Amino acid sequence: MSKQYKPNWLKEAIIYSLDVRSYKDGNGDGLGDLTGLMSKLEYLADLGINCLWIVPFYYSGNRDGGYDVTDYYQVDPKLGTINEFKTLVDKASAYNINILIDLVVNHTSIEHPWFKQAIKEHSPYHNYYIWMKEKPEKDRKDVVFKTKEDSNWEYSEEANSYYYHTFYKHQPDLNVSNPLVQKEILTIIHYWMKTGIAGFRIDAVPHMLKNKGNARFEDNSYEILEIWKQAMRQYRDDAVLIGEADVEPEDYPKFFGAGKKINGLFNFFLNNYLFLAMAEHCAKPLERAFQRLPFPSGSDQYLNFIRNHDELDLERLTDEERLRVFELFAPCEHMRIYNRGIRRRLPAMVNNHSARINLAMSFLLTLPGSPVIRYGEEIGMGDNLALPERETVRTTMQWDTSSNGGFSNADSQKLKWPIIDSGTYGYPSVNVSSQYGIPSSILEQVKTMVKTRKSHLAFNYGTFKLLETDHPQVMAYLYSLDKQRLLITHNLSYQVAEAQISIDTEAADKLIGEATIDLNTHLLKLTFPPYTYCWLSLF
């Protein structure tokens, strides 16, 4: 074993994100559930997944994909029971799959018992939330859904006061600066860590740590993250916190805290510039992004993704850059959302061009950090723009060509979750079964990438270096760990591209990809078909 690194399961993680409701119906009621998910663990293990991030499955108002929580300690009865969840954790462990769940504590549902008590006169729960007695001036600075909400404040007749909300008005923000709320959050952490999970994905981290209204943190709010990590590690020495922080990259170190706070951050910044690079068919946007991106050290890790369960949020781009991405990937207004994002899945953005889909997946599996695969990405699932807001990318998993795409054996009219049943991305055309064992399929291409990544530790622990090429549409970077050196190359062009890379090596073996290799006197020449990638091992 190399002395350059200490084993770290998050750095070696291939993370898979899903919603229990849309993945697999195990009891035939038309809604995905924990039983259905357990039946697909073997599939996930075969794909190479070793970490599963499950979005909220708690009891909720179900007005925002489970993120409007009404009970932090109860599994939604329609999805299963706490004992079934514990069984899921045990069965996943047998497949060497760690489980992460969402910690949604920036806000609750308006139906949460705390808020129902908070609106009562002289309630001890009143200060669990953030209030203003006098009508505040309209402030839209921190409104997340600017096309849906016109203020961060909403009036409650029962309380005769205005409460603060970052997201929808039915999601009042918790006053995380309140020590009593902090105590409640620790209780939630202890409860779920006892089930055997490996940690949490913290929702809306920057919003949670802000001063809002008259609520003020006495000390540095980021220190809370350290307290949470310490609480988790009473149960597992290797438990992790991963966080959603869509902020400028210069702010990332505050969340990491040099290994004391969050272990993994979703890299929204790099994600934005990956889409700009794909829209412009040029490597330069990504290369420029790396100039601003601070590299974490020690156990800290970035988490890379193509799409997540929300919109493709392009806030890190300039207005002009965002417009260029819109023009190519969301040319119609109804494809866009909240004045900042795209509500489509990748295949629909690239007109189902398989080479472009595979190219994006190659970036996902090789950019520095741990990859997060959103369910259905491994088969090229599409979206349904007829659904409202973010629901477009939350349709059911497509398993085979049988009724309901193998998601449920319920009568199709009794399905409780939307399914794509026709067209280019309908389950008769796009499903797991039809791609299984077909080498050219997206599924088998992704499985090959995952297997190759997992067999080369340089991806996880090696030093990363951008390399210069003589072609603006070809990107190259190098991972080095002991004697292992991996050269990763991508052609973003729609044309054949020839690129030269000056590199000190005597031999280059192709691991996966389509480029033609010509090595002469430490000058590597690669010839790529359009939209292709090539991973090489250097000697």
518 and 437 in one domain? no
Residue 29 DSSP one-character state: S
pLDDT recorded at residue 139: 66
Average pLDDT of 271-293? 98
Q: What is the pLDDT of residues 183-220, one digit of tens each?
A: 999 999 999 999 999 999 999 999 999 999 999 999 99
Domain final position from 453, 488, 506: 453
pLDDT recorded at residue 521: 82
Domain-embedded: residue 382: yes
Domain-embedded: residue 7: no
Q: How many domains does the chain have?
A: 3
Q: What is the pLDDT of residues 51-102, one digit of tens each?
A: 999 999 999 999 999 999 999 999 999 999 999 999 999 999 999 999 999 9
pLDDT value at 140 more than 80 = no
Report the CATH number at residue 525.
2.60.40.1180
Q: How far apart are CA 405 and CA 325, in angstroms?
A: 32
pLDDT value at 29 more than 80 = yes
Q: How far apart are CA 39 and CA 35, in angstroms?
A: 6
What is the set of active-site residues?
Answer: 203, 244
Q: What is the pLDDT of residues 9-26, one digit of tens each?
A: 999 999 999 999 999 999
Q: pLDDT confidence of 320, banded at 50, 70, 90?
A: very high
pLDDT value at 1 more than 90 = no
In a 13 Å sphere around the CA of 10, the CA atoms on its Cβ side amount to 26
Report the CATH number at residue 345.
3.20.20.80
pLDDT value at 3 more than 60 = no
Q: Find the angle CA(220)-CA(127)-CA(182) to the nearest 5 degrees.
A: 45
Average pLDDT of 494-502? 98
405 and 366 in one domain? yes
83 and 117 in one domain? no
**Which of 21-35, 128-142, 285-299 has the lowest average pLDDT?**
128-142
Domain-embedded: residue 277: no
Which amino acid is it at 327?
E
Residue 305, classified by CB atoms within 10 Å of its CB into exposed (0-12), middle (13-18) or buried (19+), is: buried
127 and 52 in one domain? no
* Cα 302 from chain centroid (whole Å): 11
Are the beta carbons of 377 and 312 closer than 8 angstroms?
Answer: no
Which tokens sit at 102? 């969402």
Domain-embedded: residue 324: yes
Of 353, 534, 380, 509, the closest CA to residue 443 belongs to 380
256 and 345 in one domain? yes
Q: pLDDT confidence of 121, banded at 50, 70, 90?
A: confident
- Kind and range of the H or E run holding 405: none
pLDDT value at 365 more than 50 = yes
Q: What is the pLDDT of residues 450-468, one digit of tens each?
A: 999 999 999 999 999 999 9
Domain with 44, as residue range(s), is 15-106+177-267+297-453
φ, ψ (nearest 5 deg) of residue 51? -150, 130
pLDDT recorded at residue 2: 45
pLDDT recorded at residue 136: 87
377 and 358 in one domain? yes
- Kind and range of the H or E run holding 75: strand 69-75
Q: What is the pLDDT of residues 145-178, one digit of tens each?
A: 989 999 999 999 999 999 999 999 999 999 999 9
Domain final position from 424, 453, 482: 453
353 and 246 in one domain? yes
Which tokens sit at 179? 């020590």
207 and 101 in one domain? yes
pLDDT recorded at residue 251: 97
508 and 390 in one domain? no
Domain-embedded: residue 205: yes
Q: What is the pLDDT of residues 227-260, one digit of tens each?
A: 999 999 999 999 999 999 999 999 999 999 999 9
The mean predicted confidence, pLDDT, of the chain is: 96
Domain-embedded: residue 292: no
pLDDT value at 141 more than 90 = no
Q: Identify the residue whose tokens are 């038309």.
A: 30
Domain-embedded: residue 208: yes
Q: Which residues contact 105 (CB under 8 A, 6 or more apart)?
A: 174, 176, 181, 185, 188, 202, 203, 208
User: Looking at the whole model, is its pTM more than 0.85?
Assistant: yes
pLDDT value at 104 more than 80 = yes
368 and 304 in one domain? yes
* Cα 503 from chain centroid (whole Å): 34
Average pLDDT of 271-283? 98
Q: State percent of the chain over pLDDT 90.
A: 96
